[in-house]
Homo-oligomer: A and B are copies of this chain.
Amino acid sequence: MEGVRVAGVGLTHFGQTPDRTGRELFAEAAEAALADAGVDREAVAELHYGNFMGALGERQGHQAPLMAEAAGLSCPATRYELACASAGAAVRGAVRAIAAGQADVVVAGGMERMTNRAIEETTEALAIAADELFEVRAGVTFPGAYALMARSYFEEFGGEREDLAHVAVKNHENAVPNEYAQYRKAITVEQALSAPIIAEPLGLYDSCPVTDGASALVVVSEAYAEANELDASVAIVGSGQGGDALALQSRGDPARTPATDAAAMEAFADAGVGRGDVAAVEVHDCFTIAEVCALEGLGFYDYGEAVGAARRGETTADGDLPVNLSGGLKAKGHPVGATGGSQVVEMTRLLRGDHPNADAVDGTVGLTHNAGGTVASAVVHLLEVVE
């Protein structure tokens, strides 16, 4: 894919801000992205927006035109919903529109509010990303589903809780300098292992928090960037999406996530780069086991090999393939409808060099991986510094 540039990026602080409205959060992220891009609102042709649980959590559907208005945009707006991959889908819609020459300037991103109600209600709202008839009614929640995946993984490939603890320790460490992160607090392996168990074998530190926040990107055509002398040095060079059965029970092997494999295959083919070119990765670590499965599905590790990657220091900031330099969903936070956009924002800043962890990136290509449900949906983007 050619000719697609990230001209500007914006985020709210990720955290617990129950009193801030959704429109307030998204407007802040969009305003930051437009200012970063140096693009006027009038130039924006489309808004591609991700949100997951606004119907349940805010009684607000039809959020796309609402968010356009809040951000001061007078353009058509579309909402994408793909559970926790909603903003990944929105970014993909935006990228495809630019790549196809259907628009020159678009805004993509997402927003989620998760702490404006009782935690039980948020847990119930998250559960609608699973199969209502065959999973939710049987009592499945996402910690339980990912615990099943972890147990299957351990049984098939080996690995232990301490391996996963190193994933959490790494991602917390990465979040410390990130001003947008929910938890800027380093933890130890001992802390992770001694924390309360949520769903065996996953403990508190294996799980991402609930988070309010928004993300936004200004995506432009290369021609527009040049004509308007924008500083848009990062290109989106590949996009891929994969799908799978919604219910975990319908999959062949709960320890594998083929939607990620499919998304990666499409994105790498689209970009014409190889896995060896990738210098940094942001993956969807809603639980520590999810990071392990993602790195294998993406093809950076063979099946069964990624579980020890953080423990061996391969995916830490000083490792060969730094993973989740933002802090990941685990420590940066996971406002579900915003996360896929946030990953591209973080990767853009890492590649541009204006991220506190940018020094860890030794190369010009980065990958983002956003997943929905128990990876019934996956969206992958490849970014590259082009000038």
Contact = CB atoms under 8 A, between A and B. Distances in A.
8 contacts: A47-B243, A58-B132, A62-B81, A62-B128, A64-B243, A65-B243, A74-B243, A79-B80
B83 A80 contact: no
A211 to B, nearest CB: 18
A373 B65 contact: yes
Interface stretch (A49-57, A347-355, A360-368): A49-57
Interface stretch (A89-97, A144-152, A165-173, A295-303): A89-97
Contacts of A61: 52-53, 81, 83, 128-129
A346 to B, nearest CB: 23
B373 A62 contact: yes
Interface string A280-298: 0000000000000000000
A242 B250 CA distance: 39
A131 interface: yes
Given A74-B243, A96-B97, 9 more contacts: A52-B61, A58-B132, A59-B127, A59-B136, A62-B81, A64-B81, A65-B243, A69-B246, A99-B100
A376 interface: yes
Nearest to A270: B102
Given A69-B250, A99-B100, A377 B128 contact: no
Contacts of A243: 47, 64-65, 68, 74-77
Chain copies in complex: 2
A262 interface: yes
A191 interface: no
B82 A81 contact: no
A93 B89 CA distance: 11
A123 interface: no
A64 B78 contact: no
Contact of A83 (B62, B129, B133): B62
A263 interface: yes
B132 A60 contact: yes
A22 to B, nearest CB: 9
Residue from the set A47, A53, A65 with the largest chain B CB neighbour count within 10 Å: A65
Contact of A77 (B59, B263, B377): B377
B372 A62 contact: yes
Contacts of A263: 76
A241 B76 CA distance: 6
A271 to B, nearest CB: 14
Contacts of A250: 69
Nearest to A69: B245
Nearest to A244: B65
B82 A128 contact: no
A204 interface: no
Nearest to A128: B61
Contacts of A129: 61-62
B376 A65 contact: yes
Nearest to A241: B76
Contact of A245 (B64, B65, B81): B65
A66 interface: yes
Given A79-B80, A80-B80, A81-B79, A377 B64 contact: yes
